[in-house]
Structure 1
Amino acid sequence: MPIPPDDLGRELVVTDAEADGAVHIALAGDTYTMLVTGAQTGGAYCLIDMHVPDGGGPPLHRHDFEEMFTILEGEIEFIFRGTTAIARAGTTVNIPANAPHHFRNRSGRAARMLCMCTPAGQDEFFRRCGDPVDGRTAPLPPLSADELNERRQRAQTLAPQYATEML
Structure 2
Amino acid sequence: MAERLNRTIPADEAGRKLVTKKAEEPPHIGVVGDTYTILLRGEDTAGRYCLIDMHVPPGGGPPPHRHDFEETFTVVEGEVEVSFRGEKVVARVGETVHIPANAPHQFHNSSEKAARLFCICAPAGQERFFEDVGVRVGSRTDAPPKMDAEAQEEFKKNAVKLAPKYKTELLKEA
Asked whether the two chains share a fold, i.e. TM above 0.5, the reply is: yes
What range describes the TM-score normalised by the shorter chain of this pair? over 0.9
Residues 6-155 of structure 1 correspond to what in structure 2 (within 5 A)? Answer: 6-19=12-25, 22-155=26-159
* Ranges of 4+ aligned residues in structure 1 off by more than 6 Å: none
Cα distance, 1:158 vs. partner? 0.8
Give the counterpart of 1:164 among 163, 168, 171. 168
For residues 143 and 81 of structure 2, what CA distance do their matches in structure 1 show?
23
Structure 1 residues 12-63: Cα deviation after superposition (integer angstroms, max 9, x where no partner):
11112113xx200000110000000111111100000000000000000000
- For the aligned residues, what is the CA RMSD? 1.1
For residues 139 and 25 of structure 1, what CA distance do their matches in structure 2 show?
9
SS where residue 121 of structure 2 aligns? strand
Cα distance, 1:139 vs. partner? 3.1
Contact kept? 2:33, 2:143, Cα under 8 Å: no
Give the match for residue 3 of structure 1: 9
Aligned-residue identity in percent: 55
For residues 16 and 78 of structure 1, what CA distance do their matches in structure 2 show?
27
For residues 89 and 96 of structure 1, what CA distance do their matches in structure 2 show?
21
Letter paired with 1:165 = E
Letter paired with 2:67 = H
SS where residue 16 of structure 1 aligns? coil
For residues 157 and 14 of structure 2, what CA distance do their matches in structure 1 show?
40
The answer for unaligned runs of 5 or more in structure 1 is none
Cα distance, 1:95 vs. partner? 0.3
For residues 25 and 9 of structure 1, what CA distance do their matches in structure 2 show?
29
Give me the TM-score of the superposition, normalised by structure 2. 0.91
**Is the deviation greater in 75-84 or in 147-156?**
147-156
